[in-house]
Amino acid sequence: MLNRIVKTGKYMDTEDKQTLQKVADTIRILSMDAVQKANSGHPGLPLGCAEIGAFLWGEALRYNPSDSNWLNRDRFVLSAGHGCMLQYSLLHLSGYKLTLDDIKNFRQWGSKTPGHPEFPHTDGIEVTTGPLGQGVGNAVGMALGLKILGKKFNTNKHKIFDSKVFCLAGDGCIMEGISSEASSFAGHLNLNNLILLYDSNQICLDGPLNECCSEETKLRYKSYGFEVFEIDGYDFDAMKKVLDELRSDQSKPALVILHTVIGKGSPHKAGSHKAHGSPLGPDEVKATKEALGLPLEEFYIPQAVVSFFEQKRVKLKEAQQKWQQKFDEWAKENPKFYQEFELMANKRLPDGIEAQLKSLEVEDPIAGRSASQEVIHMLSKELPFLYGGSADLSGSDKTMMNEFPIITPKDFSGRNLKFGVREFGMATICAGLYRTQMITPFCGTFLTFSDYMRNAIRLASLSKYQVIYQFTHDSIFLGEDGPTHQPVEHYASLRTIPNLHFFRPADTNETKMCWLAALKYEGPSAIILTRQKLSNLPHTDVPYEEGVGKGAYIIVKEEGGKPDFTLFATGSEVALAVDVAKQMSKLGKKARVVSMPCWEIFEDQDDDYKESIIGGDLGKRVSVEAGVDQGWHKYIGLDGIAICMESFGASAPASVLKTEFGFTSDSILERILNG
């Protein structure tokens, strides 16, 4: 049997179903009115999924509104984030820090109810969602993280991690390729704590689903290794039967297909794409309320619903208190486990971690990617919360932690993840791993493939998830693979993302400190590393707070008076800039070299420091970086010289590419002295 069609039966008391129906109708009232008041939003999903939401918050989910960060709570992810009024309504009704005024200010400046869910902006929101399908990946990451934590800390006597991850996705999420990547990975690892709820209403924003999609989704998910259920999205009995069964005995990740009607209740727009992304209109809101037998009063919440959630909160609080008693017993009986738990929960960096990094012996010269791997090996022994993986490139991007096993479907005790060729999925899963609150994830691939991950990196940056991206093969100097694999626009592309710290270390000394910076930063970081070998440079072996911790610093100081030239560089081109400065000295020219491993950290420095690095008369300013020049003129001025890439590169040995594209000291000297 390919899927289980669950037929109606009596599994709930009539009175309980009547109460949940009142909750569902209240969701419809709040959602319609909020969208209409804002004159903007998506009423279709909240109207169509109101019963699903009512059942989840009223019956199925384990949570505590007074402690939204309770570690063993169930996680709910609204992948179809445009339908956020469903979630906002339930967060308000169930008692999170979201007021009725917040609901009334939907999509307004400064409100806690933005147009799509944002973490940590709104209490109770687990992850930022909206770009369709990414929430599925986030949910897979959370489920994976909870499996890891359960394996690490649960004992036969005490299961302190046993929660579920619920993700509500729509037709758009299911069609997006990211859901395929993430779901395939979830099926491979047999994540039997993941429940994907599919709001199957057969409508897209542009019209009926059958105009653009005719796949058998249930067969697709069966092939991934999911157990598939199919129910009426308005049948509380069927919901209870399925979700109770999954709570007590889930052997595989589950897809629950819920057949719904978009915009349910709207006399003229239900079942149509017209209900998807626009307010119903005042007349249609009134007609919908009348058709459903609901009060016409705006933002009406019946006392029965208020009382229901008041009683519910008491039970939920008691459930957490029972868990806390179990946790306290576990901590007392397992002091070593508890000590590691504390380290992971606080993500505390050991005292002296900078000194440890500096004392780490690494061969010289060495490729940036290999130097980083040595750092990862050291950090993995010191930081139990560090987990990492690669999109099928661990041998090339050097992300494997050799002293720890790979996580497999039958063993979650490892620290290494093989994501397969799923770059976008990897990035969304890492965001979910971070949101388990006890894991700092890193992931790797070639820099050019960061384009596959970009939207996930963007959401991580918006939300300030501490995810570390290790991108290798960082320039045209990877050589013969050619322009398909040679990144030239990627530095500029990633630097444009707010909140993302972009690091391009010049040598092993800077690589060590870039990792320290990433671990200190409460947000995402991208560490960009070479394939070719680099030698340690003079003056990069400085304290963190004098070098990478400043974002930019002087490594070659002109002797006497102002410099004739100041060269700014990153990564492998810093050594080239140093060579140019040496040749200038032989020609009687004074040159300064500034290494700029992280523009974002530099921009956070005080004005006095920035003035000491880039202010005043620095002579002719020159940037040296094997990427496009976008962004550099902020530092070198409009009349500065940018030694950069102006094409996509070429397939040839690195030595040839250096000559052909002007990245030799002789060609740079000729250009800046005669230009």
Strand partners, 390: 418, 444
Instruction: DSSP letter for 108, please.
Output: -
d(CA 398, CA 598): 22
Nearest C-alpha neighbor of 391 from the set 355, 417, 363 = 417
Alpha-carbon Rg of the chain, whole angstroms? 28
Q: Which of 423, 573, 600, 625 is catalytic?
A: 423
Tokens of 237: 């009995």
Q: How many CB atoms lie within 10 A of CB 435?
A: 21
The H or E element that residue 84 is part of is helix 84-94
**Buried b vs exposed e over 260-274: b needs ≥16 C-beta within 10 Å?**
bbbbbbbeebbbbbb
d(CA 470, CA 443): 6
3-class SS letters over 2-46 = CCEECCCCCCCCHHHHHHHHHHHHHHHHHHHHHHHHHCCCCCHHH
- Known active-site residue 423: yes
The H or E element that residue 450 is part of is helix 450-463
d(CA 108, CA 102): 9
d(CA 152, CA 337): 8
The H or E element that residue 339 is part of is helix 335-346
Q: Please give the positions annotated as active site.
A: 423
